[in-house]
Structure 1
Amino acid sequence: MPARPRNSRLRRTLLAALVATSVAAPVSGAARPAAVPAPVPAELAPLWNAAPGTLDARYAATRDEIRAAERMAAGHGDRRRAAALRDMAAPHRRFLLFDGRDGGRTAEVFGDLAQAERIAVLVPGADTNLDRYWRLRNDSAALRRKLGPKAAVVAWLGYETPATVSPAALTTRRADAAAPGLARFADGLHTARPAARISLLCHSYGSVVCARAAPGLRGVAALVLYASPGTGAGDVRALHTRATVWAGRGADDWVARIPHTRLSLPFVSIGFGRDPMSKEFGARTFEAGTGGHSDYLKPGSLSLRNLARIVSGTAPSGRGRHA
Structure 2
Amino acid sequence: MSRLLLGANGQLGQHLRARANDLATCARNCADHACDLADQSALVSLLDSLRPSVIVNAAAYTAVDDAETNGEAAYRLNRDLPAWLAAWCRDNDALLVHYSTDYVFSGQPGRPWREDDPVAPESVYGASKLAGEQAIISTDCRALILRTAWVYSALPGNFLSAILGRAARGQSLKVVSDQVGSPTWAGSLADATLVLLERAAERVERPELMHVAGQGAMSWHKLALEAVQMAAGRGMINHEVDVEPISSDQWPQKAKRPAWSVLDGRRYEQWTGRPLPDARAALAECLDQWRDVACSFP
Question: TM (normalized to structure 2)?
Answer: 0.34
Q: Which has the higher contact order (CA 8 A, sep 6+)?
A: 2
User: Which structure has the bigger radius of gyration?
Assistant: 1
Question: TM (normalized to structure 1)?
Answer: 0.31
